[in-house]
Structure 1
């Protein structure tokens, strides 16, 4: 019971945190601040966002390992793809931005958006699987 409740809470935190950051914080920053301020702020915030996703998904993977193998695999895949996004994709996006490569930036940023949307959908699916 304790593992189930804690796992549900961590998974819900992951789902809610990713959703709030993606559709709330990031969108708000770009509408509330000038682009020359918003861009650097988001660049500094994203490494922390990915660390949150990695930590929460690994914690959820641990808990789901006792409850549901499919959910555990999903959480491990979220963590692995977040590590890729943070360590590989994000530096590529920053390099494209710094070099003024608008087309490359759009493709790479689009990939990061797809990954984050997949994370949100996958964590919602785990919540549905584990819920009552």
Structure 2
């Protein structure tokens, strides 16, 4: 059971790092800007759903072994919900309205949340070394 917990935790860490620093950057560098941005916009709801599900599973699996780690993964699962349901649509509305200042602020918040999740996830993994 501990192996499964760590695998789900590692899956979330790897998936978040790859999506944040690999997938989005790759699309922006290889596709025309409008196509890349539209593709990223369509991908984010699925990414956030991935984060929610994998973090929740990891949290449940970690509970018997390390309650602090379990609660940290639950924190990621819980905080991704408003990010997906409120922040992401607000970012899209700012883009659609041509409001670069609002987009920049909201996107910065989104990036901060994503980085915080990655750091928390890494901390959970390191706790088991």
TM-score by structure 1 length? 0.96
| CA distance in 2 between partners of 1:56 and 1:13 (Å) | 8
Q: Are 1:37 and 2:35 matched, yes or no?
A: yes
Distance 2:57 2:36 in 1: 31
**1:106-125 maps to which residues of 2 (within 5 A)?**
106-125=104-123
CA distance in 2 between counterparts of 1:48 and 1:130 reads: 29
Post-superposition Cα deviations, 1:81-132, rounded to whole Å, max 9, x if no partner, equal 111110010000000000001000000000000000011111110011123x
The Cα RMSD (Å) is 0.7
Runs of 4+ in 1 over 6 A off after TM superposition: none
- Structure 1 distance, partners of 2:80, 2:24, is 17
Aligned residue pairs total: 129
Q: 1:64 Cα shift?
A: 1.1
Q: Distance in 2 between matches of 1:67 and 1:84?
A: 28
Unaligned runs of 5+ in 1: none
Unaligned 5+ runs, structure 2: none
**How far did residue 69 of structure 1 move?**
1.1
TM-score, with structure 2 as normaliser = 0.98
